[in-house]
Amino acid sequence: MKKILSALFAIVLVIAALFAAQHYLIAKENAATGTSGSSAKVLNIYNWGDYIDPSLITKFTKETGYQVNYETFDSNEAMYTKVKQGGTAYDIIVPSDYMVEKMRRENLLLPIDEKKFTALKYYDKRFLNKSFDPGNKYSIPYFWGTLGIIYNDKFVRKSEVQHWDQLWSSRFRSKILLVDSARDDFAFSLISMGKSVNDKNSATVQAAKAKLDALMPNVKAILDDEIVMYMAQEEAPVGVTWSGEAAEMIAENKHLHYVIPKEGSNIWFDNLAIPKTAKHFKAIYKFLNFMSEPKNAAQNAEYVEYATPNKAARKLLPKAITGDKQFYPDDQTIKNLYVYSDLGPKWTQIYNDLFLEFKMTNH
């Protein structure tokens, strides 16, 4: 009996020691992350809607133990306002190129710690060190894409939509769908005039607005996400949209095709970034490295259907995806693509006011 009691006592001591060790490790981690209690194993992400494979979040939690709180936004401006107000302490956000520039300038982002983020080696150098974030000090590219023309080959020939100017043809009267986006609609108008997508010359911007007004007889509707459904259901034969949206449309209707006009277009980047209010830094870097792992990045690209900037992940994707020049254009095409700059408050307001006037006075 005495031997049995001794053995039981030893087991109790071992369990107590393990409990104490676990408590010590949790306390140590909390101290490192600046958090306490149950919130220590949490990661708060603020992303665009339907912009990550949900199974990757489950996998991340299973591998690391971090619970992910996930919220979505539908515009850069909505995300910016919420982060600036600081009501919710997000750990990771996904701003587009010009918004990275704006938030960086306003000290709303924290720099990426190069010692903790070790996966930049996987990324295509063509998509690093862009003008909105030289040296990628504050952002990591998440997805990239273009602005272009989607058309239905049952009603439109490919040769009819190779240039932006062709949208103004009387052939397309009341047949074009546009995205409800001031920057994007002004962009193709400016490019069709041989001007920069970031133009701040009053006369030029007014001329671009006048050219959009001239396009209005051809415009059937100006839409948000519904443009995907309308094009897929053949409510219109032509539209202006983003490459990722085009991929969704084409998946629904094989008569649809996507064209990047020869004179150029916008190339955009959505990026992973750390807002100033972030708290859970250990979780943040685990997630950034996790999402950059080629296998995970490839899985995410297949789910989201936008182009990945992760070169190692791209090698894992089917040739049917990476060989499609509609969504992975060649270098020559990429050379003619232009990134949006932050226009600043004054010119952002001018573009938005003119776009609102365009929509209100012509409908």
Report the distance separating Cα 102 and Cα 86, nearest Å. 16
What b-and-e string marks burial along 178-204, b requiring 16 or more CB atoms within 10 Å of the CB? bbebbbbbbbbbbbbeebebbbeeeee
Looking at residue 88, its pLDDT comes to 83
pTM, rounded to two decimals: 0.83
The one-letter code for the residue type at 255 is H
Helix (H, G, I), strand (E, B) or coil at 253: coil
**Which is it for strands 265-272 and 140-152: parallel, antiparallel or unpaired?**
antiparallel
Q: Could you count the other beta carbons within 10 Å of the beta carbon of residue 52?
A: 20
Helix (H, G, I), strand (E, B) or coil at 100: helix
Report the distance separating Cα 309 and Cα 224, nearest Å. 25
Beta partners for residue 33, in sequence order: none
Which residues, 6+ apart, have CB-to-CB distance to 77 below 8 Å? none
Residue 61 token pair: 């939690």
pLDDT tens string, the chain, 363 residues long: the values are: 444 444 444 444 444 444 344 433 444 444 344 444 445 699 999 999 889 999 999 999 999 999 999 999 988 989 999 999 988 899 999 999 999 999 999 999 999 999 999 999 999 999 999 999 999 999 999 999 999 999 999 999 999 999 999 999 999 999 999 999 999 999 999 999 999 999 999 999 999 999 999 999 999 999 988 999 999 999 999 999 999 899 999 999 999 999 999 999 999 999 999 999 999 999 999 999 999 999 999 999 999 989 999 999 999 999 999 999 999 999 999 999 999 999 999 999 999 999 999 998 755
> Which single residue is written with the structure tokens 């996400």?
225
Sheet containing 42-48: which strands, arranged edge to edge? 67-73, 42-48, 92-93
Which residues, 6+ apart, have CB-to-CB distance to 118 below 8 Å? 289
Report the distance separating Cα 126 and Cα 211, nearest Å. 33
> Which single residue is written with the structure tokens 């995907």?
228
